[in-house]
Amino acid sequence: MLAESLAAAALICLDPGHGTAPAIGRQKEPIGPGSPITKIKDGGGAPGETEAVLAIARRTRALLLRRGYRVAMTQMGSTFRGGNIERAWVCNRRGAALMLRIHADGSSDASRRGASTLFPARRTGWTDDVYGRSRRAARAIQGSLVGATRARNLGLVEPSDLTGFNWADVPVVLVETGFMTNPIEGRLLRTSSYQWRVSRGLAAGVAAFTSP
């Protein structure tokens, strides 16, 4: 019962990607605290990505609530008004046990398919405080996501230049749930049944991470 009540107290912050108005999306922001390097707030994502990942986030939220988690969302519609610094701060402010960013990939090569999970590269002063826990969450979530969907396993990726990672003060991962540009996977990602499968994988991964 103790593990269960601890899990019940955990807050998961879901961050479905994109959906920012272009006038805000094209603004630039530093990729980490004090960095001279800037990137745009939102490039818009792959075709159909915004709608698919929002639907997956809503389904994941329902499953997590059912499991007893508290859940915050950076956006409930496709209307996020800030950049990736603001997204991180939505989750930082709430002291989330995990910031789970949900995306889908795009490629000019239509044959590319599969799922991957990103977590922040270690950088002193930016991500060193959340590195270990983020890596552990990434392993758990990638495993359960691939298990639930049977998507091709593209493994873990450890980028150093993601603004939404470098400003996070809570453990953070970003799932690329599949390729919108692959004819088969892109069609699946737009269906309710496959969105539920992705969501079940994500919720099981969160549970594995928060109850070691």
- Which residues are near Zn ion by CB under 5 A? 17, 45, 103
Minimum gap (Å) between residue 174 Cβ and Zn ion: 8
How many C-beta neighbours within 10 Å does residue 40 have? Answer: 16
Cα separation, 76 vs 207, whole angstroms = 22
Which residue lies nearer to Zn ion by CB, 45 or 171? 45
Measured from the CB atom, is 10 or 15 closer to Zn ion?
A: 15
Tell how strand 38-40 and strand 28-30 pair up. Answer: antiparallel
| Min CB(138)–Zn ion separation in Å | 17
By beta carbon distance, the residue nearest Zn ion is: 103
Between 146 and 174, whose beta carbon lies closer to Zn ion?
174
Integer Cα distance of 102 and 85 in angstroms: 16
Q: Are 172 and 94 in contact (CB under 8 A)?
A: no
Q: How far is the CB of 67 from Zn ion (least distance, A)?
A: 26
Report in angstroms how near the CB of residue 34 gets to Zn ion at its nearest: 26
Tell me whether residue 17 or residue 186 sits nearer to Zn ion (CB atom): 17
Closest CA relative to residue 175, chosen from 25, 49, 10: 49
**50 or 149: whose CB is closer to Zn ion?**
50
Beta strand ranges found along the chain (DSSP E): 11-16, 28-30, 38-40, 70-73, 98-105, 115-118, 153-157, 172-179
From the CB of 68, what's the least distance to Zn ion, in Å? 29
